[in-house]
Structure 1
C-alpha cells in the first residue's frame, strides 16, 4: 500500500512539472506577433549563398520572382505597350515568376507615383518601359536601394538601375528597303512621336534603307509630340498623304497611320507589332519588337542572383529582340529575297546600317567612308541624314 502511495505521489509531481513547463512556453500567436516584419529583398551582390541541404532533407523552396511593368499606353493597342506585354506574358509562363502591370501611365509625376507604389509592394524587379520614365525611375530607385529597376530606352543608370533597349534601327532599315522599292511618287511620310535620339535614329535608318534602293526618294517627317493619340496620328498621316506621300511609316503606338494609308489607297509600314490585320491592303511590313528573350533572361538572373546593376543592354536582331513582320503579298518576290538576305546578315551579326559615307541634311559628310558609327554616337543622335525633309527638333 505504501509502495502504491509513493508511486501516486511521484506521478502527481511529474504532472505538476509538465503543466508548469507548458504555462511558461509562448503560444504560436504570441511568437508570430513578436517576429519583425519581412525585410525588403537584399541587393543581389549582398545575398549570401544558400547552405547545402543535409542528406535526406527536403529541397529548399525555389524563389518566386515578382516582376512589375509600367506602360505608357494601353496594352490592347497593337503597339508599343502591346509588344512589351507579350514579353511580360512570357515571364508569367515561367513556373517561378509572377507579374503585374499598370497601363496608360503618363510620363512625369504620375509615373513616379506608380513606380513608387510598386516599389512599396517589394517587387523583385520593376520594368519602366517609356523614355519619359527615366528620371522618375532613378529617383524612386534611390529611395529603394535594395530593389532592382530596368528602364527602357533611356541612358541613365545606377547601382540598382539598368537601362535597356533593342537595335530596332536594324528592322527600320530593312523596312526602308521595302518602302523604297514600293514608292512611285518618291515621297514617303513618317508619323513620329518625339524628336529624341531613339526616334531620330529610326527615321535615319529607315531613310538610309529607302535611298539605298531609291536614291531620289525623300522621307517627310511630321511630329505629333505624343506616343499614343490615334486621332492625332491619323490626322498627321493624312497630311502626309495630302502632300503626295504614297508610303506611310510611323513611330507611334496605334495602327491609325496604317488605316489612313489604306483609306487613301497608299502603302504603309507599321511599328511595334505586325499591324497587317489593321490595313491588309496597305501594309508592306512592320518593324517589330520581341521583348520575351530579354525579359525572361533578366528575371532568370534575378532568381539565380547574377543580376547586376549599372549596366546598359542593347540587344539586336541576332539576339531575337527585333525583327520585321512578314511582307505583304503586294511586295515582289525579288524585293522580298533581297530584304531577307540583308536580314540574314544581321542575324549572323553583321550590322552596317550606319556605315559611311553618310551625309546630313546639309550634304555634309558626318560619317566617313570605311567607318561605322559607334554606339555612343548612335545613342546620342540628334541630326537627320540626307533625304529626310523636316526638322530634328
Structure 2
C-alpha cells in the first residue's frame, strides 16, 4: 500500500487488505469461510462518539474471527476518495465509513469498483443504479425520545440547553425526538439550541454550553463532547448521546441514548458473505426494535428519577418495540424557543 496512505493515520493492521486479495463478487451467492476483509475510513478520531460505535462493532467482529479489519482515521474530505480507492485496490471486500462531506465523490469512487461493497454513513438514500453502495445512519430517535422524558422530569427551571455539531438530518432528528420527550414530562419547557460547526471540538462545545448555563439552562443535551464538562463544572445535569459516559460523569450524566452499530454491520457482513450485498438503507437497523438503540443504564441516577417518569419510559419503550408507537423522524433544523 502506498506510503501516502500513512498520512493522518494512527493504525494500519498487519492483517489489512493486502494487494491481490480476492474481491467480493457482488450478486453471485457463494459460501465464504475465510474472514471478510473490512476497511474503515473515518474523518475523525475513532474516540469520537459516532465513529467509535462503528469501530467498536468492527473490533468485536474481528475478535469473533468473522473479519479482518483495518482502518484509517482523521482522513480529510479531500483525501477521502483516494483512501477509498487504495483500500478497494488492496482487496477490501467491505469498506465502511462516513461520507457526509464527500457524498458525490464517494459514490463516483464506488462506481469504479463494482466488486467491492461500500457501507457508508450518508444523508442520502441508496441509488439502485449504484448497486454496491449501501447507506446507514444513526436513527436512534427512539432512545433520544426516552432521554427527553428523563430530562423533562429532572429539570427545575424548564430551561434546556442543546449543543450540536452541524444542523444536518442525523443531528436534527435526534434533537427533535429529545425535545418531544421533554414535552411529555415538561410541556412548558424552553430550549436553547446552538451548533458549533464541528464534529470534534470539545473546547468550543464546552464554551457554548457554559453560555447556555449562564442563560438559565439546568439540563444540557450533550450531542458533542465538551458539553458534559461544562455541566459538571457548573453543577447541572447532562443527557448523553450515542455513547454512555455516565462512568466519566457520575454526578452529571443522568441518561444517555445509545447507538449500537452491531446489527447494521452484521446485516451487511451476512450479505457480503452470501454475495448478496446491494444498495439498501441499512439505517433501519439502528431502530430500537432492531436492537440498534437503547437507553443506557442509569447508574448513579438509578432511583433518583421520578417514578411517574420511569413508568412512562417503560410504557413508551414497550410500545416502540412492539410497533404501536413510532417516534417521528424530523430532519428539519430545530429552532430555539
Normalising by structure 1, we get a TM-score of: 0.74
Alignment-derived partner of residue 110 in structure 1:
79
Are 2:28 and 1:90 equivalent residues in the alignment? no
- Looking at structure 2, the residues matched to 243 and 48 of structure 1 have their Cα atoms a distance apart, in angstroms, of 59
- Looking at structure 2, the residues matched to 351 and 218 of structure 1 have their Cα atoms a distance apart, in angstroms, of 25
CA RMSD, Structure 1 to Structure 2 (Å)? 2.1
Does the aligned pair in 2 maintain the 1:73–1:80 contact within 8 Å? no
1:212–1:99 CA distance, 2 compared to 1 (3 A): same
Q: 1:233 aligns with which of 176, 185, 205?
A: 205
Are 2:174 and 1:224 equivalent residues in the alignment? no
- Looking at structure 2, the residues matched to 299 and 48 of structure 1 have their Cα atoms a distance apart, in angstroms, of 13
Alignment-derived partner of residue 199 in structure 1:
171
1:48–1:248 CA distance, 2 compared to 1 (3 A): closer
Alignment-derived partner of residue 389 in structure 1:
336
Alignment-derived partner of residue 244 in structure 1:
216
Are 2:50 and 1:76 equivalent residues in the alignment? no
**Alignment length (residue pairs):** 311
Q: 2:310 aligns with which of 336, 339, 352?
A: 336
Structure 2 counterpart SS, 1:98: strand
Structure 2 counterpart SS, 1:128: strand
Alignment-derived partner of residue 5 in structure 2:
none
Are 2:290 and 1:353 equivalent residues in the alignment? no
Question: Structure 2 regions of 5+ residues with no counterpart?
Answer: 1-18
Shift of 1:67: 0.8
Shift of 1:213: 1.4
1:49–1:84 CA distance, 2 compared to 1 (3 A): closer
Q: Deviations over 1:71-121 (max 9, x none)?
A: 2322234x2222221111122133342111112223x21222222221121
- Looking at structure 2, the residues matched to 153 and 334 of structure 1 have their Cα atoms a distance apart, in angstroms, of 38
Shift of 1:165: 2.2
Alignment-derived partner of residue 181 in structure 1:
153
- Looking at structure 2, the residues matched to 117 and 343 of structure 1 have their Cα atoms a distance apart, in angstroms, of 44
1:312–1:297 CA distance, 2 compared to 1 (3 A): closer
Structure 2 counterpart SS, 1:350: coil
- Looking at structure 2, the residues matched to 166 and 223 of structure 1 have their Cα atoms a distance apart, in angstroms, of 18
Shift of 1:345: 1.8
Does the aligned pair in 2 maintain the 1:138–1:156 contact within 8 Å? no
What pairs up with 1:265-344 in 2 under 5 angstroms? 265-307=235-277, 309-313=278-282, 314-315=284-285, 316-327=287-298, 328-329=301-302, 330-344=304-318
Shift of 1:383: 4.4
Question: Structure 1 regions of 5+ residues with no counterpart?
Answer: 1-36, 51-60, 355-377
Does the aligned pair in 2 maintain the 1:92–1:99 contact within 8 Å? yes
Q: Deviations over 1:215-265 (max 9, x none)?
A: 11012111101111111111111111111100000322x2x2112101111
Structure 2 counterpart SS, 1:306: coil
Structure 2 counterpart SS, 1:131: coil
- Looking at structure 2, the residues matched to 257 and 268 of structure 1 have their Cα atoms a distance apart, in angstroms, of 8
Shift of 1:153: 3.5
Structure 2 counterpart SS, 1:207: helix
Shift of 1:42: 5.0
Does the aligned pair in 1 maintain the 2:239–2:254 contact within 8 Å? yes
Are 2:26 and 1:44 equivalent residues in the alignment? yes
1:323–1:242 CA distance, 2 compared to 1 (3 A): same
Alignment-derived partner of residue 165 in structure 1:
137
Structure 2 counterpart SS, 1:89: helix
- Looking at structure 2, the residues matched to 206 and 214 of structure 1 have their Cα atoms a distance apart, in angstroms, of 12
Q: Deviations over 1:148-185 (max 9, x none)?
A: 10111421432110111242111111111100111111
Structure 2 counterpart SS, 1:132: coil
Alignment-derived partner of residue 124 in structure 2:
155
- Looking at structure 1, the residues matched to 87 and 20 of structure 2 have their Cα atoms a distance apart, in angstroms, of 16
Shift of 1:301: 1.7
Structure 2 counterpart SS, 1:389: coil
Runs of 4+ in structure 1 deviating by more than 6 angstroms, as ranges, are none
- Looking at structure 1, the residues matched to 222 and 63 of structure 2 have their Cα atoms a distance apart, in angstroms, of 31
Alignment-derived partner of residue 3 in structure 2:
none
Report which of the two structures shows the higher radius of gyration computed on alpha carbons: 1
